[in-house]
Amino acid sequence: MADFDAIVVGSGMSGGMSAKELTERGLKVLVLERGPEIVPERDYTDQLTPWQTPNLDNVPQDEIQQHYFKQYPGVAYAIKESTKHFWVKDDEHPYEEAEGTSYDWLRGYHTAGRSIMWSRQTYRLSAKDFTANRDEGIAIDWPVRYEDIVPWYEKVETFVGVAGTEEGLEQLPDSKFQPAFELTDVEQAFKQRVETRFNGRNVIPARIAHLTDATEEQRSLGRSNCQARNRCHHGCTFKAYFSSLNATLPAAERTGNLTMVHNAIVQSLDYDTDSNRVTGVRVIDAETNERRLYTSKVVFLNASAIASALILLNSKSEAFPTGLANRSDQV
């Protein structure tokens, strides 16, 4: 058993940010990742050309039907012979769907999780999004407003690096931007025609988490400006697009306070009734089946919405017989 100040379950988008913030404040942090380690120099393939890979980088159809039948239809552009190791095999990690429904769960079980595979579109919620429930009389009103979140938006955007243009749109608030990628001649013509013909319609460059004017802090993490090569789904050796592996985990690691364990599948959380706190995380080693317990003062559950709920439901105790924090039976 090993003890830490904090344990972060999952090394993806939110897990990486949690690890960064905690380690920079001096806490000894353990990050548990259920999958293997991704090493950019070994596992990124953005420097390869299609003719350097089998089948011109296309995954054979029989392999798609066997392993990627749920994920491939929606992200065919990203699942290639040279990138398929980023994607979970559907037949090895099956799930059930409610009758009459369909859900395609895109997953990456490895360092940085889906932050390696996301499309990097980065937009703020607007003030209207925070008041919609109240104004429309649905669900429950948000406990915070847009103005409360603005400082945190700015903090994250400055660290991440978001390219975009200031438009002053109420429904799509501006971020802390780096310079946007210029529109092509065709896009500029399209923008002019749409905005001339349709009053109130705006055509703007996508707001994306790509560096175009890297800051000193971003360069200190080994990041550099986007080369606009359209090879993002292979991983970026320039570290130009934001991911946990490119930014937050290196920031956490340089503090000297980070411990990271791969192939650690979280089974459940230990709950102490006397202190009314979670005190530990039980894991199963994906390679050896060894069972281990890690303890800490606080646990951050960043395993994605579905997997985090699964861990809570698995964490049964006398106090929570149907799963941790599930007395309402709504988890």
Residue with tokens 């988890």: 331
Mean pLDDT for the chain overall: 96
User: Residue 301's pLDDT is what?
Assistant: 98
Give the separation between CA 14 and CA 225, rounded to whole angstroms. 23
Q: 3-class SS at 213?
A: coil
Q: What DSSP letter does each residue of 191-208 carry, written as one string?
A: HHHHHHHSTT-------B
Write the CA distances from 259 to 29, 117, 233, 249, integer angstroms.
6, 24, 27, 10
Q: How many CA atoms lie within 13 A of 183 on its CB side?
A: 15
- Interacting residues of 277 by C-beta distance below 8 A, sequence separation 6+: 271, 298
Neighbours of 7 (CB within 10 A): 29
pLDDT one digit per residue (tens) for the chain, 331 residues: 689 999 999 999 999 999 999 999 999 999 999 999 999 999 999 999 889 999 999 999 999 999 999 998 889 999 999 999 999 999 999 999 999 999 999 999 999 999 999 999 999 999 999 999 999 999 999 999 999 999 999 999 999 999 999 999 999 999 999 999 999 999 999 999 999 999 999 999 999 999 999 999 999 999 999 999 999 999 999 999 999 999 999 999 999 999 999 999 999 999 999 999 999 999 999 999 999 999 999 999 999 999 999 999 999 999 999 999 999 999 9
Residue with tokens 């596992």: 43
Give the separation between CA 16 and CA 113, rounded to whole angstroms. 10
The one-letter code for the residue type at 157 is E
Closest among 313, 244, 256 to 35, alpha carbons compared: 244
User: Residue 50's pLDDT is what?
Assistant: 87
Residue with tokens 């309402």: 328
Give the separation between CA 45 and CA 82, rounded to whole angstroms. 6
- Name the CATH topology of 2-38+255-314: FAD/NAD(P)-binding domain (3.50.50)
User: Residue 110's pLDDT is what?
Assistant: 98
pLDDT tens digit sequence for 245-288:
999 999 999 999 999 999 999 999 999 999 999 999 999 999 99
- Reported as type and span, the H/E element at residue 41 is helix 40-43
Q: What DSSP letter does each residue of 159-182 carry, written as one string?
A: HH-EE-----BTTB---SEEPPPP
Contact 8, 246 (CB under 8 A): no
User: Which tokens sit at 20?
Assistant: 């960064």
Give the separation between CA 270 and CA 272, rounded to whole angstroms. 7
Provide CATH 3.50.50.60 ranges for the chain. 2-38+255-314
Helix, strand, coil tally for the chain in percent (to 5)? 30, 15, 50
Contact 240, 225 (CB under 8 A): yes
